[in-house]
Amino acid sequence: MRQLLMVRYGEIYLKGQNRPFFLNLLRQRLKKAVLPYGGVVTLSDGRYYVTNYSDEHATIQAIQKVFGVHSLCIAVEMSKESFEDIQNTAADMIDGYNGTFKVQSRRSDKRYSLTSPEINREIGAYILNRHPHLSVDVHNPDHVMSVEIRDHAYLYIKILSGPGGMPVGSNGKATLLLSAGIDSPVAGYLIAKRGVELSAVHFFSYPYTGERSKDKVIQLASKLSAYCCGMKLYIIPFTEIQMEIYQKSFSDHTTLIMRRFMMRLAERIALLDGAQALITGESIGQVASQTMEAIVCTDAVVNKPVFRPLIGFDKVDIIRLAEEIDTYETSCLPYEDCCTVFTPKHPVTRPKIERVLKAEAPLDIDALIDRAIKGVEVIEL
Amino acid sequence: MENTKSTKMNIAYFDNSATTRPTNEVIERVTQCIKEGYFNPAALYKPAFDIEQQINRCRNLIKSKISAEQVYFTSGGTEANNLAIFGSLKHKRQKGTILYSAGEHPSVVNACLELLNLGFKAQTIPYTVEGIIDLSSFEDLLSDDIQLVCIMHVNNETGAIQPLHEAVQLVRSKAPDAHIHVDGVQGFLRVPFNMRFFDINSYSLSGHKIHALKGIGALALSKGSKLSPILFGGNQENGLRSGTENVPGILSLLAAIENFPANPSMRSLKLQLYKRLKESIPTLSVNGPVPDSQQAAPHILNVSLPPVRSETMLHALEADNVYVGIGSACSSKKQRISTVLQSMGIDKTDAQSAIRISLGLLNTQVDADKLINSCVSAYDKLKHYVRR
């Protein structure tokens, strides 16, 4: 008899002939996640089993960040030969619980001497006998004692939810434009959840921002990285571009043109990094640079598709998600951001592409982009 | 002292009001203490007694420097201020009013605000535009209901020296029973102070602002001033501050005080910095008293360099290994302005572009040249970028 973690996968169930590819990928992701705690991952009979881990709490937390995992539970694995032992173990496990319960069994070993309803009945009666303060409620129980008869018997009570989604790496690679704000980490999370591997770019405006605000972005990227099985963060020096735009463009167009530069730079990084798409945290109408017209203008400078998973989200919904994935507090750290110098007081909200091109005309775009790319700092997370 | 002046990596460190670099004398004394003087000063054997003697040497040295009757070691300025504030009011039967000046350090302001929960009332003594307490407003606030008055001797952000003599005279005539506490963290050894002359009840100081270690400070008391403890334990420090003495800290303080020159050259270096910066940066304005006036501390110069924001200038200087302080950090969402500058009525643009240059014993002419070159060139580059 031993304790282990039983992990169930989600959407991979829907896969047909290529299911082994997804199952293998998820196993690799799980292995990497539990590696720091010495866990061993095996796949058997439609379940992953994690054994030999040192720190149960940390191992569970790590598994809860692996996309593709539907749920997991702390289970007792034991021989199925002695039904009396199984009954005994079930009664021991439910010791300390109060209220109502039911026993729910599954039998993938159809040769087992008892049927599922019989198992439920027998174990239920045994538990009631040992713990008379409990009562049975088969419709709406407080606790479910689950018993699975496979090559061994598996018993568990609590089921913890996983993050869902698809294993990272099963759906290509994309580059996330990561600011120090609330939205972009959430956007990255949502795309990664669909199995997309991420890299991130951050635009750094020294001396308008300093080491602490860079560290804030690194912290955010690290939090995302825990879900993404690692991530490269590209820090791009951006001050020269901002200064040039400030000096040479129409003041009401500076933010928009800055966004266009960010997209161009992100696409360059995506090309270097083998990413197929760009991701931003934009939500339509949230700020001047996120109106329909502005988004059309920023999209126009790149060839790669731009995914905006938050496009239809209200700010409150984005904040709720940021809290769920634990990036909200970091995003709200009040480190200095004096880039407002480059934000016009009255930005254009309905830009026209002709005027945008005119505003950009005095800038040596390629040279500025080349210089910025040369100064990139890469951080492996 | 000379050998400590060569700074690592050509750093020009001008944030000495935040903390100072320990001098070689301090480092040597502390190293020796950690290696050989690790005994508990309360023990009965001779090496422990020797340590106790050294602690008392430091205590007596502080007493003689400021004419204090008693000196108690604490973990720093914050604890010393808290001990003075809570300790002086603990035995008071009536819950009266506390006055504290507008530019007090958070360890005084927040301790006073905490007293509101205990039934006391608190009022702020306003500052003039130069950051000096407004004596006529102060007089209006005084009554025999006042139980505690807190005035920082030298303001940590502007370097303004407060008119203690006049202020104390007002307190003694209108609120004779009030305890007067002076936060001396920025003033100790750098601005002349005498507890007996000024008729002050308690005075706090901190080690790491004068090249000693962090984690050591002291509270000095005048004759007849009573305090109750706020920490309880083994009755060290005459029962007022329990806890085994921080011996390395105390000896670092001893070394720092013994080696602190009677006439440090900080004032002339500060005036030179001001003059040369003003010549090159026409928009420069001083926050606080006129730098060469008697009200200005020798080691703190707070200037605004509009339109360059404080943080931007700080980071630009940082690129050249020049470090200065700013009153507070800004954020694009919350435009926070230093409460001290705000209380002086400094205009928002000026307050947002304020930097604090604070000098210590180790600053050299080379440092000053480096600061000026770096600051002027950053200003010339950054001045063109203003939000429009």
Residue A153 backbone phi and psi in degrees, to 5: -100, 140
> Cα distance from A231 to chain B (closest Cα, Å)?
28
CB atoms within 10 A of CB B119: 9
Partners of B354 on chain A (C-beta within 8 Å) are none
Domain presence at residue B98 = yes
Q: Do B205 and B91 belong to one domain? A: yes
Amino acid identity of B22? P
Coil, strand or helix at A204: strand
CB atoms within 10 A of CB A174: 26
Nearest CA in chain A to B386: A341
Q: Do B95 and B218 belong to one domain? A: yes
Nearest CA in chain B to A347: B388
Each residue's pLDDT tens digit, A265-274 = 999 999 999 9
Partners of B316 on chain A (C-beta within 8 Å) are 207
Which CATH number do you get for residue B324?
Answer: 3.90.1150.10
For residue A185, is pLDDT > 70? Answer: yes
Surface of B (285-324) touching A: CB under 8 A: 309, 311-316, 318-319
Q: Do B16 and B35 belong to one domain? A: no
Residue A100 backbone phi and psi in degrees, to 5: -110, 160
Q: With an 8 Å Cβ cutoff, is B331 touching chain A?
A: yes
Q: For chain B, how big is the Rg over CA atoms in Å?
A: 21
Please name the residues in contact with A345: beta carbons below 8 A apart, sequence gap of 6 or more. Answer: B387, B388
Q: What confidence score (pLDDT) does residue A337 get? A: 66
| CB–CB contact A207 B309 (8 Å) | no
Distance from C-alpha of B172 to C-alpha of A247, rounded to nearest angstrom: 61
Active site residues of B: 330
Partners of B333 on chain A (C-beta within 8 Å) are 334
Distance from C-alpha of B171 to C-alpha of B385, rounded to nearest angstrom: 49
Show the beta-strand stretches assigned E in B133-279. Answer: 146-152, 179-183, 202-206, 217-221
Partners of B352 on chain A (C-beta within 8 Å) are none
Q: What's the Cα-to-Cα distance from B67 to each of A152, A271, B63, B197, B220, rounded to whole Å?
A: 83, 72, 5, 8, 9
Coil, strand or helix at A215: helix
Each residue's pLDDT tens digit, A288-300 = 888 999 999 999 9
Partners of B319 on chain A (C-beta within 8 Å) are 206-207
- Answer whether A4's CB lies under 8 Å from A148's CB: no
Q: Per the structure, how many domains does chain B have?
A: 2
Instruction: Please give the structure tokens belonging to residue B117.
Output: 């929960």
Interface test with B, best of A336, A345, A346 (most B CBs within 10 A): A336
Q: What confidence score (pLDDT) does residue B333 get? A: 45
CB atoms within 10 A of CB A289: 22
| CB–CB contact B332 A337 (8 Å) | yes
Which CATH number do you get for residue B114?
Answer: 3.40.640.10
| CB–CB contact B318 A251 (8 Å) | no
Residue A147 backbone phi and psi in degrees, to 5: -130, 120
Selecting from B312, B319, B387 the residue whose C-beta is nearest the C-beta of A343 gives B387
Q: Which residues of A touch B (CB under 8 A)?
A: 206-210, 243, 246-247, 251, 334-345
Please name the residues in contact with A276: beta carbons below 8 A apart, sequence gap of 6 or more. Answer: A172, A173, A174, A270, A304, A305
Nearest CA in chain B to A211: B315
Nearest CA in chain B to A332: B333
| CB–CB contact B387 A206 (8 Å) | no
Partners of A246 on chain B (C-beta within 8 Å) are 384-385
- Could you tell me the pLDDT band of residue A57, with boundaries at 50, 70 and 90? very high
> Cα distance from A346 to chain B (closest Cα, Å)?
8
> Cα distance from A288 to chain B (closest Cα, Å)?
16
Partners of A258 on chain B (C-beta within 8 Å) are none
Residue listed under structure tokens 């604070």: B358
| CB–CB contact A336 B331 (8 Å) | yes
DSSP B299: T
Please name the residues in contact with A341: beta carbons below 8 A apart, sequence gap of 6 or more. Answer: A208, A246, B309, B312, B385, B386, B387
Mean pLDDT in runs of 10 for chain B (388 residues)? Answer: 52 96 97 96 96 97 97 98 95 89 95 94 96 97 96 96 97 95 97 96 98 98 94 93 96 98 92 97 96 97 95 95 78 65 92 95 96 98 92
Each residue's pLDDT tens digit, A192-236 = 999 999 999 999 999 998 898 899 999 999 999 999 989 999 999
> Cα distance from A206 to chain B (closest Cα, Å)?
7
Find the domain containing B348 and state its range.
2-22+264-382
- Answer whether B257's CB lies under 8 Å from B209's CB: no
Between vectors from CA A107 to CA A103 and to CA A110, what angle results, nearest 5°? Answer: 145
Q: Based on the number of CB atoms within 10 Å of its own CB, is B244 exposed (0-12), middle (13-18) or buried (19 or more)? A: exposed
> Cα distance from A362 to chain B (closest Cα, Å)?
18
Selecting from B330, B336, B378 the residue whose C-beta is nearest the C-beta of A338 gives B330
Q: Do B120 and B168 belong to one domain? A: yes
Instruction: Please give the structure tokens belonging to residue A45.
Output: 């009979």
For residue A180, is pLDDT > 90? Answer: no
Residue percentage of chain A with pLDDT more than 90? 87
DSSP B200: -
CA neighbor of A234 nearest in space, from A335, A342, A374, A368: A374
Domain presence at residue B387 = no
Domain presence at residue B388 = no
CB atoms within 10 A of CB B252: 29
Q: Do B179 and B93 belong to one domain? A: yes
Q: Where are the alpha helices (DSSP H) in A131-210?
A: 183-193
Distance from C-alpha of B382 to C-alpha of B109, rounded to nearest angstrom: 36
Distance from C-alpha of B91 to C-alpha of B148, rounded to nearest angstrom: 13
Selecting from A206, A251, A338 the residue whose C-beta is nearest the C-beta of B388 gives A251
Amino acid identity of A263? M
Nearest CA in chain B to A243: B385
For helices B310-318 and B365-382, give the axis angle rounded to 10 degrees.
120
> Cα distance from B383 to chain A (closest Cα, Å)?
11
Selecting from B312, B319, B388 the residue whose C-beta is nearest the C-beta of A338 gives B312
Nearest CA in chain B to A244: B385
CA neighbor of B214 nearest in space, from B76, B326, B96: B76
Given B258, B292, B310, the domain boundary residue is B258
Given B258, B293, B317, the domain boundary residue is B258
Q: Do B13 and B39 belong to one domain? A: no
Structural domains in chain A plus CATH codes: 2-161 (3.30.2130.30), 173-380 (3.40.50.620)
- Answer whether A63's CB lies under 8 Å from A5's CB: yes
Bridge-based pairing of strands B97-101 and B121-125 is parallel
| CB–CB contact A207 B332 (8 Å) | no
Given B258, B276, B302, the domain boundary residue is B258
**Cα dihedral B370, B372, B375, B377 sign:** negative
Domain presence at residue B89 = yes
Selecting from B319, B329, B388 the residue whose C-beta is nearest the C-beta of A336 gives B329
Q: Do B300 and B370 belong to one domain? A: yes
| CB–CB contact B331 A337 (8 Å) | yes
Among A9-13, A244-248, A342-346, the range of highest mean pLDDT: A244-248
Q: Do B161 and B269 belong to one domain? A: no
Q: What confidence score (pLDDT) does residue B331 get? A: 44
- Answer whether B162's CB lies under 8 Å from B155's CB: yes
Q: Do B282 and B251 belong to one domain? A: no
| CB–CB contact B315 A207 (8 Å) | yes
Amino acid identity of B64? S
Q: Do B123 and B10 belong to one domain? A: no
Q: Do B209 and B133 belong to one domain? A: yes
pTM of the model: 0.88
Domain presence at residue B42 = yes
Between vectors from CA B217 to CA B66 and to CA B172, what angle results, nearest 5°? Answer: 45
Q: What confidence score (pLDDT) does residue B3 get? A: 41
Nearest CA in chain B to A338: B332
- Answer whether A55's CB lies under 8 Å from A37's CB: yes
Selecting from B319, B336, B387 the residue whose C-beta is nearest the C-beta of A345 gives B387
Q: Do B158 and B291 belong to one domain? A: no
Between vectors from CA B274 to CA B271 and to CA B275, what angle results, nearest 5°? Answer: 85
Partners of B375 on chain A (C-beta within 8 Å) are none
Domain presence at residue B198 = yes
Q: For chain A, how big is the Rg over CA atoms in Å?
A: 27
- Answer whether A110's CB lies under 8 Å from A145's CB: no
